Structure 1
Amino acid sequence: MSQTRAGQTDAYALILQAIDVGVFKPGDRLVESDLADRFGVSRTPIREALQRLETQNLLTRDGRSLIVASLSHNEMAELYAVRSELEGLAARLAAQHASAEEVLVLREMVQEDRKLTDDPSALSRANRRFHKQIHLASHNRFLVRQLDLVHRSMALMATTSLAAEGRGEVAMEEHNAIVEAIAAGDQDAAQQALRDHISVAFVTRLKLDSLSSDGA
């Protein structure tokens, strides 16, 4: 890979990661010069990275400025509908193809993540790792790519459903049910458990958004 190409990739990955972990939130304005200084990258790869992110609808225009995009109610509903189907398929395939070692890793993740239920930000990061591990356990590269795109768009939500009171503990029980279905090789149960998990998360997020709107 050429140095220029590497710079473009690094700039894109750095900005994307900052959006993903909430450093840049929906509505935040991204300025080339500020990003170049922040990441120690020249403005050219920053500009090209911003153009790429705009093409992917992760950034949008506000006049002449680029801002981190946000999701409307309908867009969020559409995203969760797609996520439910794709994640359910990943769990189904994981129940069919996951190795004993992959199941062990998933079980250990659930146990470790139980310790984070009082820290929504840390639990949210752990949650992404858990779901990614299920995607990988599906052993279907095309599905993994599509789920990467879906989870990239999830970063456009300003809050995590895991911030709702009591949601962390319940989510860990849901994760455990998913893993045990995968471990048992029960494809139907694994698929349904993960789809139910996504459904509860969506309902929780809708409630959080409703409370946020009431306080506006």
Structure 2
Amino acid sequence: MADEKPTQKDAYSLILDAIDAGIYRPGARMVESELAERFGVSRTPIREALQRLETQSLLIRDGRSLIVASLDHNQLAELYAVRAELEGLAARLAAQHAAPEEVRVLRELVEEDRKRVNDPSALARANRRFHKQIHLASHNRYLVQQLDLVHRTMALLATTSLAVEGRSEKAIAEHDAIVQAIEARDGDAADTALRAHISRAFETRLRLDSAAGAGGA
């Protein structure tokens, strides 16, 4: 019994990571026995992890089955609106409260990303690390918790907007502008730069979804 909680946490993280990586895409059925076999975990923690993901609306019911949820246009707009507000606040607070070491790490992340410009999958993973670093640099635990929830929901997006031609270079330039503002301890500029970054990401996402919809017609 003493090992149950860490096992449960591992099962939750493993399933969430698999959704985030696109192994289980929106609409995919989540079968306890298959998940237990894939991850080498017993069915009890898998069941508890699935229940947790359902309460977070990352999984939904389809009859008796649980499937990975998908986001419609309105949900996507709502998600990006909340994300822009929270991320902008995180950047503002990071400009005020980040330790010099945290600012240097942000700068290093941007420079490292320049080497990943032709690898959208690697850049998408690095992008999550970059944003997480800003969240932590805000030094506001309640804001970090809310942003964690937002970014968990982002896992429901089946593709990365960084795969759109030319978006990688622009995203890195936007990250650079965010870090410059944080380095300058300019909260207003950091907030503005990060909100603009999220707005452009949302615009790219809308174009991506529109193209996908047209292709399926």
Q: Which TM-score bucket, shorter chain as reference?
A: over 0.9
Structure 2 gaps, min length 5: none
Identity %: 74
Aligned partner of residue 27 in structure 2, secondary structure:
coil
Matches of 1:148 and 1:86, distance apart in 2? 11
Extract structure 1 runs of 4+ deviating beyond 3 A.
Answer: none
Q: Which amino acid aligns with 1:175?
A: H
- Partner in structure 2 of residue 185 of structure 1: 185
Q: Which amino acid aligns with 1:174?
A: E
- Partner in structure 2 of residue 160 of structure 1: 160
Matches of 1:107 and 1:3, distance apart in 2? 39
The reply on whether 1:138 has 2:138 as its aligned counterpart is yes
Aligned partner of residue 9 in structure 2, secondary structure:
helix
- Partner in structure 2 of residue 31 of structure 1: 31
Query: Per-residue CA shift, 1:104-132, capped at 9, x if unaligned?
Result: 11111001001111111111000000000
- Partner in structure 2 of residue 198 of structure 1: 198
Structure 1 gaps, min length 5: none
What is the TM-score with the length of structure 1 in the denominator? 0.98
What is the TM-score with the length of structure 2 in the denominator? 0.97
- Partner in structure 2 of residue 22 of structure 1: 22
Aligned partner of residue 24 in structure 1, secondary structure:
coil
Matches of 1:174 and 1:16, distance apart in 2? 28
User: How many angstroms does 1:16 deviate by?
Assistant: 1.1
CA RMSD of aligned residues (A): 1.0
The residue correspondences of 1:163-178 to structure 2 (distance < 5 A) are: 163-178=163-178
Mean Cα displacement is larger for which, 60-69 or 79-88? 60-69
User: How many angstroms does 1:21 deviate by?
Assistant: 2.1
Q: Which amino acid aligns with 1:31?
A: V
Aligned partner of residue 61 in structure 2, secondary structure:
strand
The residue correspondences of 1:57-72 to structure 2 (distance < 5 A) are: 57-72=57-72
Q: Which amino acid aligns with 2:195?
A: R
Query: Per-residue CA shift, 1:36-55, capped at 9, x if unaligned?
Result: 10111111111111111111
Mean Cα displacement is larger for which, 146-155 or 3-12? 3-12
Q: Which amino acid aligns with 2:100?
A: A
User: How many angstroms does 1:6 deviate by?
Assistant: 2.1
Matches of 2:59 and 2:173, distance apart in 1? 35
